[in-house]
Structure 1
Amino acid sequence: MRYTWLDEYLLQKRGVTKDLQPVWNWVRYMIGGRMFAAVCLDEKNKPYYINLKLEPMEGEFYRAQYPDVIPGYYSDKLHWNSIRPDGAVPDELLRQMLDQSYALVLAGLPKKQQRAALGLTVCGSECGSCELYGQSCPGCNEAAGRVFHAPAGKPCPIYGCCVNKKHLATCKGCPQLPCAIWQAVRDPSLTEEEFRQDTARRVERLKGV
């Protein structure tokens, strides 16, 4: 296979897991328990197709442009496409197609499951890195925003705005990111510069998925 970078490229995406489906002999790449890409192997474990998901019109366009893009092998041929691993599809285009497949499958998950799969809160924090996680705080996603620093019995204002009011999976979908609510609920132990850096990291995490 000429796309030797594929495995590393997919596994560096947030929340991605990999397994082998032994009956089909497919190496599957999953987000939230759902496949978004697969490398189909023959009896000698040689790749013969790369399967990925695209919007139907986009899939039709690429099939018309590249003979090495065909309707999905052993898949829903409306949404899934197969790429020959030794074909002429440019590397950068295949990366874009894989990115789109990842985004489509992720977007198809329930919003809470999206956050769980990504390991992120609505505001881009990583609960797993917090010393209180699993002890005095079960985590933002698990507690529906009612974390240790939220008003008693109520969700964190960021969670309340993002999920309960705007019905978004994360703040990434809000054009005001980062908004005044972030400033209002900032960690008081952080200096202005530390808060600025923390905000930038969280925004980068959100925009990176």
Structure 2
Amino acid sequence: MYLDEFRDYCLNKPGVTEGTPFGPDTLVFKVMGKMFAVTGLDTFEFVNLKCDPERSVELREQWAGIKPGWHMNKHHWNSVYVDGSVPDNLIKELTDHSYELVAASLPKKVRDELKSLSGDQ
């Protein structure tokens, strides 16, 4: 997977913005202002994605390219490598999972606003 493909995938989700709050080399994707994906801009080696803690353990045991989140809470975040060791469809599935976990944790008012952006009523 390439950075432009990952970026487009994230930005096509409702309520998503991108920025570089940690400096010019780190790209952060947020849903309604809350971070769900972090990756390098100069070196697109892996992406940090939030994950259910039990599923995180299973994924790390199953895939060599999924490690505890680099510079993140290792209980809730995985570093998912984009070097071909993890299939692109799984990277997208884990991106969806991260997005959904973060969206579900938003305050009700913000979740309702997100639903209106996505067309859900």
The letter of the residue matching 2:31 is I
Say which structure is richer in strand: 2
**Aligned-residue offset at 1:22:** 4.1
Q: Distance in 2 between matches of 1:2 and 1:23?
A: 21
Q: Which runs of 5+ in 1 are unaligned?
A: 121-125, 127-203
Kindly report the root-mean-square deviation, in angstroms, between the aligned alpha carbons of the 2 structures: 2.1
Equivalent runs, 1:1-209 vs 2, <5 Å: 2=2, 4-23=4-23, 25-41=25-41, 45-116=42-113, 118=114, 120=116, 205-206=119-120
Please report how far the alpha carbon of residue 86 of structure 1 lies from its aligned counterpart in structure 2 after TM superposition: 1.3
The structure that has the greater radius of gyration is 1
Q: How many residues align?
A: 121
Letter matched to residue 39 of structure 1: T
Which consecutive residues of structure 2, in runs of 5 or more, have no partner in the other structure? none
Report what 1:182 is aligned to.
Answer: none
Question: 1:112 & 1:96 partners in 2: Cα distance?
Answer: 26
Q: Share of identical aligned residues, percent?
A: 35
> Following the alignment from structure 1 to structure 2, what is the Cα–Cα distance between the partners of residues 71 and 105?
18
TM-score, scaled to structure 1: 0.53
CA distance in 1, matches of 2:93, 2:8: 15
Write out per-residue CA displacement over residues 9-29 of structure 1, whole angstroms, 9 at most, x where no aligned residue.
Answer: 110001100111343721011
